[in-house]
Amino acid sequence: MGPSSHQTAPLPHRDQMIRALNARDSDYEGVFVTAVRTTGIFCRPGCPCKMPRADNVEFFHNAAEALSYGYRPCKVCRPMEAVGATPHWLAPLLRDVQQDPSIPLKGRDLRRHGLEPARVRRWFKKHHGMTFQAYLRALRINRAFGLIRHGSSVTEAAFAAGYDSLSGFSAAFRRITGVSPSVAPGTAVIHISRVLTPFGPMFAGAVDEGICLLEFTDRRMIETQFKRLHKLMGAVCVPGNHPHFDRLEAQLDEYFAGDRKEFDLPLVIPGTDFQRRVWRALMDIPYGRTRSYQEQAEAIGSPKAVRAVARANGDNRLAFIVPCHRVIGKNGKLTGYGGGLWRKEELLRLEGVSR
């Protein structure tokens, strides 16, 4: 039995996937799985097992496809677990933390939950780039930030967040947010979360007014984008959920399934007047169509500003939503995409652009 003909996104070129496989490139996890004909096993791209010969492998979008062709999951890299998704053994703990991040969760507390602290730490370092304790501190500070902004005193916020020392709370608050608790009431918060997509995991950012960030976690400029948002919006980035994320993920699912051509989300897009003109023009490019950088410059009434238009495209912080992937070179070649040219090519193919 073969897989369904309905696929959420096209695969990268085979040569590209072979290179990723040879490099054990975990940046491609969530984009494809590798199946080995001689063993009947399928794996993640970053699997540490012995490298198979290129002519013995085939590639699938996901585990479901590989299973439908009779392959079984690797016991080492466990490709049945979604990239970045919460494993079943960790889910109860995270539910408790979301309900009350002030609960004590040192090593002995984790063991009482039946969890090995080192295992929890490794999972958080791999999927979130921080230890579990750092994640917990960030959640506590996020909660305290909200309390202070809504009128609670610094002392009330500190104890509500589980701190038994005002000095310890103030130091942690300043380290994570960059500001003192005493000035927090006038400081905005950008809530940051991870979103899983067929093109790899992404960071999403939201403020009460709308979505302000959607970037690939492996983009080289991601730290720069965080700093720019902090400066442009006078806001601090803290991990946490926001109602806008549910709507964002629903619309992304529709887009990758081919059921949505335009996004309908509240957006916050700070930038210069020129950048905002370029970004508005990007959103005017129809689904399934492309423009050259020259045509994009002409569309904003600045035909000689081709290089400036390209720079503004590169500064776009809202992948897919502000579709900078629809701008190509004058000769039709693909150039300049922060998420990688392979993603640009596959996004255009998803939208039906023939090349």
Q: Would you say the CATH fold of 187-355 matches that of 14-73? A: no
pLDDT, tens digit (0-9, with 9 covering 90-100), for 115-142: 888 888 888 777 666 678 777 766 666 6
Q: How many CB atoms lie within 10 A of CB 23?
A: 12
pLDDT band at residue 288, thresholds of 50, 70 and 90? very high
Residue 2 pLDDT grade (very low, low, confident, very high; cuts 50, 70, 90): very low
Higher pLDDT, 26 or 337: 337
Window from 51-55, 197-201, 206-210, 262-266 with minimum mean pLDDT: 197-201
**Fold classified for 14-73:** DNA Methylphosphotriester Repair Domain (3.40.10)
* Architecture per CATH, 187-355: Orthogonal Bundle (1.10)
Q: What is the mean pLDDT of the chain?
A: 80
> What pLDDT, on a 0 to 100 scale, did the predictor assign at position 149?
58
244 contacts 206 by C-beta, under 8 angstroms = yes
Mean pLDDT of 57-75: 82
For the chain, the structural domain boundaries read 14-73, 91-185, 187-355
**How far is 272 from 50, CA to CA, in rounded Å?**
50
Mind spelling out the 3-state secondary structure of 219-275?
Answer: CCCHHHHHHHHHHHHCEEEEECCCHHHHHHHHHHHHHHCCCCCCCCCCECCCCCHHH
If pLDDT is split at 50, 70 and 90, which confidence band does 196 have? confident
Which amino acid appears at position 91 of this protein? A
Q: Which of 11-20, 30-39, 148-157, 313-322 has the highest mean pLDDT?
A: 313-322
User: For residues 105 and 92, is the Cβ–Cβ distance under 8 A?
Assistant: no
Q: What is the pLDDT of residues 7-64, one digit of tens each?
A: 446 788 888 899 888 888 776 777 888 999 888 888 988 888 888 888 889 998 877 7
Predicted local distance difference test score (pLDDT) of residue 6: 35
CATH architecture type of domain 91-185 = Orthogonal Bundle (1.10)
Polymer length in residues for the chain: 355
Q: Catalytic site residues? A: 43, 324
Range with lowest mean pLDDT among 37-46, 70-79, 152-161: 152-161
Q: CB–CB of 81/127 below 8 Å?
A: no
Question: What are the CA-CA distances from residue 328 to residues 199, 289, 296, 304 (Å)?
Answer: 20, 10, 10, 17
pLDDT in the model for residue 140: 67
Residue found under tokens 């002392």: 155
Beta bridge partners of 238: 191
pLDDT of residue 182: 55
Full-model pTM: 0.58
pLDDT of 153 above 70: no
